[in-house]
Amino acid sequence: MTAQELVQDVDERSPLLPDGTIDVRARRKAAPPSLPKTQLLHIMLLQVVEPVTSLCIYPFINQLIGELPVTGGDPRKIGYYAGMIQSCFFATEAVFTLHWSMLSDRIGRKPVLLIGIAGTCVSMLLFGLSKTLFHLILSRCLVGFLNGNTGVMKSLVGDITNSTNIAQVFAFMPIVWCAGATLGPFMGGQLARPHDRWPTTFSHEFWIQYPYFLPCAGSSLIALLIFLNTLFFLKEPTGNKSRRPSTPDMEVPLKELEGPLPLREILKRWPVLISVGNYAILALLEIALAAIQPLFFATPIGLGGLGLKPATIGLIMGSYGIFNGVFQCLFFAKLSDFLGPKRMFIIGMAQFPIIFALFPILNTIAKHSGLCPIVWILIGVQIVLMVFMDCAYGCIFMYITTSAPNRRSLGTTNGLGQQLASIVRAIGPALFTSLFAVSLERNWLGGYIVYLILGVASVLALHVCNLLPPDLWPDEDEN
């Protein structure tokens, strides 16, 4: 039986809800078609590049910036420049990611992915060799310009799945992502300043002049290996037709079958707008957390943080990656089937107010009792909440993929979502790390005003979640 016949067979045997829509969870339980496991493995490996290369700098970025002349030795100013460096990548990505995704609809996914990985590889080497704020920003802008891979990878998943098996893929994808999210911070924390840790082995003057090159070079090497794997083993998807199977009783417009729809047509579709809008809100809150958390860990206790060393920060972030990967692999698909994607998404989003509230609690306890066991227990609680929060990503990715009008428009649809996410991620780090720094300098709400603002925004975001349907977006032709 061909893949198309199998999908049609599932459609014919799937029960209808009273309003005539398809129960997506029932369809997944009916007879999900088998996945191309070999190609799925290569797609998963692609996911390693971004978390390794982006997160490996987090354990040492604040220490690196503190050593730059631009800070004048004032640790309270680190937040301004840390947010600037993180934001510049997303700012350039916001400008170019949609173009890369649209290009992948026309020339294929693989060429665009190879360009993105190559750009990431070169950028990390330049980052490790940078000695000024300008060169740090330039290296991050380079990878933002060349890298449209996140949206293209989601489109690649959409090319090989449908609504009956997409949750399986998004359950497995976090395994590799979280492996990268574990490896990246671990490399950044353990390999930074190798001359200080292993003076005999790394005795050359180079390691003194460029103390953060080793973790950057390590992540660049991983990107190079995945580039070669993608070049030789990843196959370009074929036959990207409309994801809505035609039957003798219906006619699908020719434009839906032959090519991608224009961007202006996609922007008119309510499912696309609601899905990418929720993705943008999730991305804003998550990037605020990602920017503030290592800054909070590195800031001295007296100035509102915990005063942890880069190696300890790397271990904390790495442990989150391991725990998150195992949890997503074992439970995401089951929870999505049991609760439904909308309820699962809301549960994930509901973790943000609690996560942000824990920061001032941690600092208050540390000021009175130091890094006592209660502090480490609450850090563990925060990591657990972040794992549940991360389930929201798998849910919203499924909504975005099923909102695409046809398979040939998957790249544009995912690119639109990635562009909006990149815009808010460009604003988020600079905005909230600067607010973190200003709060400390001016003692607004005891230095905790940033957490209050993020907590209120998290609560308001829950109202937007209710615009999503209980299940994934149904095929328009099946209504």
Give the orientation angle of helix 373-403 with respect to helix 310-339, to 10 degrees.
50
d(CA 358, CA 344): 22
Distance of CA 22 to the CA centre of its chain: 30
CB 451 within 8 A of CB 359: yes
Rounded distance between C-alpha atoms, residue 118 and residue 100, angstroms:
14
Do you know the residue count of the chain?
479
Token pair for 340: 């439904």
The structural domains of the chain, ordered by start, are 35-233+260-474 (1.20.1250.20)
Dig out the tokens for 141 from the structure: 């802008």
Distances (CA, A) of 461 to 283, 382, 397: 11, 20, 17
3-state SS class at 330 = helix
Q: Whose CA is closest to 288, among 355, 343, 347, 342?
A: 355
pLDDT at 66: 85
Reference 117, options 221, 239, 272, 236; nearest CA is: 221
How much of the chain is in helix, strand and coil states, percent to nearest 5? Answer: 80, 0, 20
- The token pair at 463 is 């109202």
Of the CA atoms within 13 Å of residue 52, those in its CB half-sphere come to 27
Task: Confirm whether pTM is higher than 0.85.
Answer: no
Taking a C-beta distance cutoff of 8 angstroms, is the pair 120, 69 a contact? no
Four-CA torsion 21, 27, 32, 35, nearest 10 degrees: 40
Residue 110's nearest CA partner among 237, 259, 243, 222 is 237
* Closest residue by Cα to residue 426 from 56, 86, 65, 55: 86
Q: Among candidates 396, 417, 358, 456, which has minimal Cα distance to 409?
A: 417
Q: Which of 341, 57, 328 is nearest to 178 (CA)?
A: 328
> Please, how many CA atoms are within 13 Å of residue 295, restricted to the half-sphere of its CB?
29
Which stretches of 32-158 are assigned E, i.e. beta strand? none
Tokens in use for 166? 């997409």
Would you write out the chain's pLDDT as a tens digit for each of its 479 residues? 444 444 344 344 334 444 444 454 454 454 455 667 788 888 888 888 888 888 888 888 888 888 888 877 777 777 778 777 877 877 887 788 888 888 887 888 899 999 989 989 999 999 999 988 899 999 988 887 877 677 787 778 777 776 666 666 766 666 777 778 778 888 988 899 999 989 999 999 999 999 999 999 999 999 999 999 999 998 887 654 434 433 334 344 433 445 667 777 888 788 888 999 999 999 999 988 988 898 899 888 888 889 888 778 888 887 887 788 788 878 887 888 888 889 999 999 999 999 999 999 999 999 999 899 999 999 999 999 999 998 898 888 888 888 877 777 777 887 888 888 888 877 877 788 888 888 887 888 888 888 999 999 999 999 888 888 888 777 544 44
- Determine the Cα–Cα distance for residues 141 and 138; give it in Å rounded to an integer: 5
Q: How far apart are CA 182 and CA 178, in angstroms?
A: 6
- As a whole number of angstroms, the distance between CA 458 and CA 357 comes to 11
Alpha-carbon distance 363 to 400, whole Å?
38
- What is the 3-class SS of 336-374, one letter each residue? HHHHCHHHHHHHHHCHHHHHHHHHHHHHHHHHHHCCCHH
- Residue 164 and residue 336: Cα distance in Å, rounded? 12
Distance CA 330, CA 296 (A): 31
Are the C-beta atoms of 245 and 8 separated by less than 8 Å?
yes
Radius of gyration of the chain (CA): 23
| 22's tokens | 């398809």
Q: Report angle CA 28, 31, 33 to the nearest 5 degrees.
A: 90
- CA 184 → CA 86, 176, 303, 320, 351, distances in Å? 16, 12, 27, 12, 24
Which DSSP letter does residue 478 get? G
